Structure 1
Amino acid sequence: MLSAKHINKQYEGKTVLNDISVDFPDGKTTVILGPSGSGKSTLLRSLDMLVRPESGTVSFPDLSIDYSRPISKKDSFDLRRKTSMVFQNWNLFPNLTVIDNITTAPITVLKRSKEDAQTLAKSLIKEVGLAGLEDRYPSQLSGGQQQRISICRALAMNPEYILLDEPTSALDPELETQVLRILEKLCQQGQSMVIVTHNMEFARLVSDKIVFIEDGNKIYDGSTKEFFGNPTPRTKEFLSGISLDEENDKINQ
């Protein structure tokens, strides 16, 4: 299990995360929700040191990182071996082909042979429905295709946890659905994931656990069924606001 304990983070004197403690169960999908600017992406990124809090710990059964102390290169490397991030804007290398985007890290970081890395990459590309596109460059792909390749790249590192920061927010509804289907399949396969998303229906469908963050504070930490089925006054207000925003978007289209 991945655990974050007593995480505190400030930006320019403003508290972004206030003593946040959360467990992320192994083999399950945890979705982090909250209004814009709540700190949810900062919490996600603190799990693999893309953001470094002032204090708190991130730990696995065989590894613990204390942010209030110096962190060795080995501990930093070991943490990032256990997690893999998927960003909202894909972050593929534009000068590399699809297959090279997927195989570069396994070859250089995990020291896999080129043959083994390419065999795995081709299998992953086929699994996400993009067989035949191995030699294309990111600019030759749609946004949905690029995000699926980004997910393949994360899976190729064989992480214990995949971390996804608004993985579909830059996509139109049709492309978003393509990516969400891939993530739903990973959930069914028991891949441990932590996802920040704006898509409430997806969160309801795939998550085992919801963490709700607002103004840097943890407001809710529990089952998905309870969050949606028996919301607190604040979470009910949040869900109602999301629904209203979605209806307004449809009216204005």
Structure 2
Amino acid sequence: MERGKKMIVLPEDTYERLRAPATLAAPPVKGSMQTPGDNLSRLDASLYKIMNSSTDEYEKCKNYLQTLRRYLFFARKEQMVDEDEASDDELAKPMPVSEIVASLPKAQRRDANLLLNHLLSSNRIKWDNAGVVKIDNAVINNSSITDLIQRVLKKSATAFFEPSSPAGQLEITRLLKDTETPLKLIKNPFMAQLFDPTRNRPRVTPRVTWNKSRAQPRDDAVLSKVPRLAVVENLALQDRRRLRPRARAGEQHGGSRWLKLC
């Protein structure tokens, strides 16, 4: 007849506590949670020291929970720092060239791609994920790389500095000149004139319209700027042109001088 074995029923937590010294090797103690080293190694060392201390169960439980809370606090703090660094890295990434080109009109995309690659090759211009431009390590507030590129490629003869001019227009114009940007990539006539002074700058000249009679010109404001002598000479020239055909007609019919002029 087989002999029976005696068994003792113990609570689970008591069994785990009695079993721990026999199965776990004593790890090296590395001090508190703020000392250098791996977080898990420090936690294991602290918990092992607490569980094998000679204090009563209440003190062990209290120290165990305090150590665990400290570990979780520092773990969350490190996680928040990592998330902040990740967000900073995300913002530091520049806006892709393809995204900038795609936001421009279709007619400007080819030249915009060439212009952006030319500027990037100089290593003097950068922009962040929002498109804010930095030239020679100087940030241009409220600037946009998309607006500046579109300004360079704008063919219409608009004023160089107007209220709607994008921020950083002067800085990027200097950069275009310093990097010897090809003139074929500069469509704005005012910017191109800075590179090539021989190129005709678009100008708008006022037109003065004169009546055929001796009346004043239509635009009194313009007339006030014209010298009085020029007005008299112009009227005299009109009189000579008007009287010349009538004088020839009088000579053909043999009339008197009075008739010739009338």
Pick the TM interval, shorter chain: under 0.3
Q: Give the TM-score normalised by the residue count of structure 2.
A: 0.25
Q: Bigger radius of gyration, 1 or 2?
A: 2
TM-score, with normalisation over the residues of structure 1?
0.26
Which of the two has greater helix per residue? 2
**Which fold has the larger relative contact order, with Cα–Cα distance below 8 Å and residues 6 or more apart in sequence?**
1
Higher strand share: 1
